[in-house]
């Protein structure tokens, strides 16, 4: 039996922003950005998002500026025709983990990690699919064989996925703050960076499903930043 003969469709989940007048949970967006920044950005780009997009949504202007400044950006040319490195600005887009697609494939066994800017719109099932994928890793059923370097996930087309499970105990410690681990202390791609204040609200459950829910909410906002405004305008039009 090959992995591709088995497939599960993601269940429909009761997202808090799914209602006609329901807004996105901005605390969840902020935590989801934290997950992307610390975990996902090591392999996945979000080239259509700039640091300024975070202002007034998840961060203050000062926080967004601090996040941008921890990133080194190539700029130029200068008066001598040379390129140079400078601290990031809020007008800069999120840094890419790889300089080009070829480098990305070389680092990922030939697979190209997709850009996540619009991933929930690009995948059938939207955030339901992404949530199921993130939480759906399991042992392959008896009789199903996988090539070396692949992992079994019944929600992925073909069920054999090159991406290793991205949420595990160490990730829970880093994002939510485990013993000796100050939550919110890592930068893009896992590099040491500035801390969010506060990193995670007290009482937030440190579970795989919580992390997956938060990153899916962040990805919904990234793909549809006008989400809340669109619903408010719809209400106004309906009243008129």
Task: Summarize the annotated binding site for heme c as residue ranges.
Answer: 40, 43-44, 163
* Helices 26-38 + 169-176 axis angle, to 10: 120
How far is Cα 211 from Cα 28, in angstroms, rounded to an integer? Answer: 9
CA distances from 20 to 23, 42, 133 (A): 9, 35, 26
Give the annotated binding-site residues: 40, 43-44, 163
How far is Cα 31 from Cα 16, in angstroms, rounded to an integer? Answer: 15
CA distances from 151 to 7, 35, 101, 166 (A): 14, 21, 22, 11
Angle at 23 between CA 18 and CA 29, to 5 degrees: 95
């Amino acid at each position: 039996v090959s992995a591709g003969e088995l497939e599960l469709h993601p269940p429909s989940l009761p997202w808090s922003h799914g209602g006609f007048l329901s807004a996105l949970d901005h605390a969840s967006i902020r935590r989801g950005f934290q997950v992307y920044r610390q975990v996902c950005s090591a392999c996945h780009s979000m080239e259509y998002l700039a640091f300024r997009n975070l202002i007034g949504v998840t961060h203050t202007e000062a926080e967004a500026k601090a996040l941008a400044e921890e990133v080194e950006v190539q700029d130029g040319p200068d008066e001598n025709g040379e390129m140079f490195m400078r601290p990031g600005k809020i007008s800069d887009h999120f840094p890419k983990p790889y300089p080009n697609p070829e480098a990305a494939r070389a680092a990922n066994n030939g697979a190209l990690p997709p850009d996540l800017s619009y991933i929930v719109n690009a995948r059938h099932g939207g955030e339901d699919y992404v949530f199921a994928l993130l939480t759906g890793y399991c042992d392959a059923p008896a009789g199903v064989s996988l090539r070396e370097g692949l992992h079994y996930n019944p929600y992925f087309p073909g069920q054999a996925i090159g991406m290793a499970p991205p949420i595990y105990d160490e990730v829970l410690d880093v994002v939510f703050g485990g013993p000796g681990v100050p939550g919110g202390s890592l930068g893009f791609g896992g590099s040491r960076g500035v801390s969010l204040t506060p990193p995670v609200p007290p009482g937030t459950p440190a579970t795989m499903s919580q992390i997956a829910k938060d990153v899916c909410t962040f990805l919904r906002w990234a793909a549809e930043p006008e989400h809340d405004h669109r619903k408010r305008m719809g209400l106004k039009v309906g009243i008129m």
